[in-house]
Amino acid sequence: MALRVGVLGASGYGGAGLIERLRDHPEVDLVALGSRQYLGEPVDAAWPHLAGLLDLRFVDTDEVLAASEVVFCATPHAATAPIVDQARRAGLQVVDLSADFRLDAAGYRTWYGEHPYPERLPEAVYGLPELHRAELAGAAIVASPGCNATAATLALAPLAAAGLLGAHPVATIVTGVSGAGRALDLGFHYPELDENARAYKVAGTHRHTGEIEANLGRVAAQGKAARTHGERMPVTLAFNPVLVPMARGILATTVAHPERDGLSDADLSDAGLLELYRDFYEGDPLVHVQRDLPQTKAAAGSDRALVSVRFDARSGAMVAFAAIDNLGKGAAGQAVQGFNVARGFPETLGLRLEGRWP
Catalytic positions: 147
Amino acid letter, residue 117? Y
SS (H, E, C) 172-235: EEEECHHHHCCCCCHHHCHHHHCCCCEECCCCCCCCHHHHHHHHHHHHHHHHHHCCCCCCCCCC
| 140 contacts 94 by C-beta, under 8 angstroms | yes
| 85 contacts 117 by C-beta, under 8 angstroms | yes
- Rounded-to-integer distance, Cα 232 and Cα 160, Å: 11
Q: Residue 64's closest CA among 45, 89, 83?
A: 83
Q: Residue 43's closest CA among 63, 16, 74?
A: 16
DSSP letter, residue 78: T
Please state, as a whole number, how many other Cβ atoms lie within 10 Å of the Cβ of residue 157: 29
- Rounded-to-integer distance, Cα 326 and Cα 211, Å: 16
- Start-to-end CA distance of the chain, whole Å, equals 39
> What does the DSSP assignment read for 89-106?
HTT-EEEE-SSTTSS-HH
Helix axes 147-161, 270-280, angle to 10 degrees: 110
CA distances from 25 to 28, 269, 287, 288, 348 (A): 5, 42, 21, 23, 10
Using DSSP, state whether 291 is helix, strand or coil: coil
Quick check: bond before 358 cis, omega within 30?
A: yes
| 243 contacts 148 by C-beta, under 8 angstroms | no
